Structure 1
Amino acid sequence: MAMYSSLPVYAILLLLSWTFNSLPLCASDNRIVAGKPLSPGNVLVSQDGVFALGFFSPSNSTKNYHYVGIWYNRIPERTVVWVSNRAAPITTNLSSANLVVTNNSDIVLSDSNGRVLWTTNNSVSMNSISVEAVLDNTGNFILRSLADSAILWQSFDHPTDTLLPGMNIRLSHNTLPLQHLVSWKAQHDPSPGEFSYGADPSSLLQCFIWNGSRPHLRSPVWTNYLYMDKFNKSAIYMALHHAGDEVYMSFGMPTGSFILLVRMQIDYLGKVNILSWDSNMSVWRALYAEPQHECNTYGYCGPYGYCDNTATVPVCKCLDGFEPRDGKGWIAGSFSQGCRPKEVRRCTHGDDFLAFPGMKVPDKFLHLPSRSFDECREECRSNCSCVAYAYSRMSNMDIDGDDTRCLVWMGDLIDMENNTQGGENLYVRTRILQGDMKKITTLEIVLSVVSSFLVLICVGLICIYAFRDGTRKLLLNWSTRFKIIRGVARGLLYLHQDSRLMMIHRDLKASNILLDAEMSPKISDFGTARLFGVHEQEGHTNQVVGTFGYMSPEYAMEGIISVKSDVYSFGVLLLEIVSGMKIGTTTPSAHARAHNLIDYAWSLRKDGKMMDLVDSSIVEGCSLVEPLRCIHIGLLSVQDDPDARPLMSSVIASLDNKDIELPQPKEPMCFARRNYGAGESQADDLSLENLKGR
Structure 2
Amino acid sequence: MTAALVAVLVVLLLARDAARVDAAALRPTLSQGQSLRANDKLVSANGTFFLGFFSPRGGDPGQRYLGVMYARAAEQTVPWVANRDAPVSAASAYSATVTADGELWVLEGDRVVWRTNKFLSSSSPRQNVTLTLLDSGNLVLSSGGGGSALWQSFDHPADTLIHGMRIAVNTRFTSWRSPGDPGTGHFTLGVDPLGSGQLYVWESHNGTNTTLWRSGQWTGSKFAGFWSNQVGDFKPSVEENFGIYYTFNDSSLLHRFLLHPNGTQTYYKLRNDTGEWETVWSQTTFLCEAYNMCGANAECTAGDNGQAVCSCLKVNPRFELFDVKLIGENWVLTSKDPCFRLLPLN
User: What's the counterpart of residue 283 of structure 1?
Assistant: 276
Whole-angstrom distance in 2 between the partners of 1:276 and 1:81? 13
Is residue 69–residue 77 contact of structure 2 (8 Å, CA) maintained in 1? yes
Deviation, 1:317, is 4.0
Task: Name the amino acid aligned to 1:195.
Answer: F
Q: What SS does structure 2 have at the residue aligned with 1:306?
A: strand
Q: State which drifts further: 60-69 or 308-317.
A: 308-317
Find the partner of 2:153 among 146, 152, 155.
155
Whole-angstrom distance in 2 between the partners of 1:48 and 1:231? 29
Whole-angstrom distance in 2 between the partners of 1:45 and 1:148? 17
As a proportion of its length, which structure holds more strand?
2
Q: 1:203-243: per-residue Cα shift (whole Å, max 9, x none)? A: 342232121133242314424465277859x5622232123
Is residue 58–residue 179 contact of structure 2 (8 Å, CA) maintained in 1? no
Whole-angstrom distance in 2 between the partners of 1:194 and 1:104? 34
User: What's the counterpart of residue 310 of structure 2?
Assistant: 316
Is residue 105–residue 126 contact of structure 1 (8 Å, CA) maintained in 2? no
Whole-angstrom distance in 2 between the partners of 1:334 and 1:57? 39
Task: Name the amino acid aligned to 1:251.
Answer: F
Q: 1:283-342: per-residue Cα shift (whole Å, max 9, x none)? A: 323322335212211221111113348999564343232444136648x98463565356
Deviation, 1:194, is 1.3
Map 1:553-568 to 2 at 5 A. Answer: none
Q: What SS does structure 1 have at the residue aligned with 2:154?
A: helix
Task: Please list every run of 5 or more consecutive structure 1 residues that lacks an aligned counterpart in the other structure.
Answer: 1-25, 172-177, 348-694
Whole-angstrom distance in 2 between the partners of 1:312 and 1:279? 40
Q: 1:230 to 1:341 in 2, by over 3 A?
A: closer
Find the partner of 1:214 among 192, 209, 214.
209
Find the partner of 1:79 among 73, 77, 80.
77
User: What's the counterpart of residue 141 of structure 1?
Assistant: 139
Q: What SS does structure 1 have at the residue aligned with 2:299?
A: strand
Q: What SS does structure 1 have at the residue aligned with 2:233?
A: strand
Q: 1:24-79: per-residue Cα shift (whole Å, max 9, x none)? A: xx842111101221111110111111001001111222351000000100121110
Q: Please say if 1:55 is aligned against 2:49.
A: no
Task: Please list every run of 5 or more consecutive structure 2 residues that lacks an aligned counterpart in the other structure.
Answer: 1-23
Deviation, 1:275, is 1.8
Map 1:101-500 to 2 at 5 A. Answer: 101-112=98-109, 114-121=110-117, 122-125=120-123, 127=125, 129-147=127-145, 149-171=147-169, 178-212=170-204, 213-224=208-219, 226-227=221-222, 236-247=232-243, 248-253=245-250, 257=251, 261-280=254-273, 282-308=275-301, 315-321=309-315, 322-326=318-322, 329=325, 334=331, 336=333, 337=335, 340-341=339-340, 343-347=342-346
Task: Name the amino acid aligned to 1:40.
Answer: A
Whole-angstrom distance in 2 between the partners of 1:220 and 1:74? 31
Is residue 231–residue 267 contact of structure 2 (8 Å, CA) maintained in 1? no
Find the partner of 2:42 among 35, 41, 44.
44
Is residue 206–residue 218 contact of structure 1 (8 Å, CA) maintained in 2? no
User: What's the counterpart of residue 26 of structure 2?
Assistant: 28
Q: 1:392-414: per-residue Cα shift (whole Å, max 9, x none)? A: xxxxxxxxxxxxxxxxxxxxxxx
Deviation, 1:98, is 1.5
State TM-score, norm by structure 2.
Answer: 0.79
Q: What SS does structure 1 have at the residue aligned with 2:212?
A: strand
Larger Rg computed on CA atoms = 1
Whole-angstrom distance in 2 between the partners of 1:39 and 1:143? 18
Map 1:528-567 to 2 at 5 A. Answer: none
Q: 1:672-693: per-residue Cα shift (whole Å, max 9, x none)? A: xxxxxxxxxxxxxxxxxxxxxx
Identity of aligned residues (%): 28
Is residue 186–residue 193 contact of structure 1 (8 Å, CA) maintained in 2? yes
Is residue 27–residue 44 contact of structure 1 (8 Å, CA) maintained in 2? yes
The Cα RMSD (Å) is: 2.9
Question: Number of aligned pairs?
Answer: 308
State TM-score, norm by structure 1.
Answer: 0.41
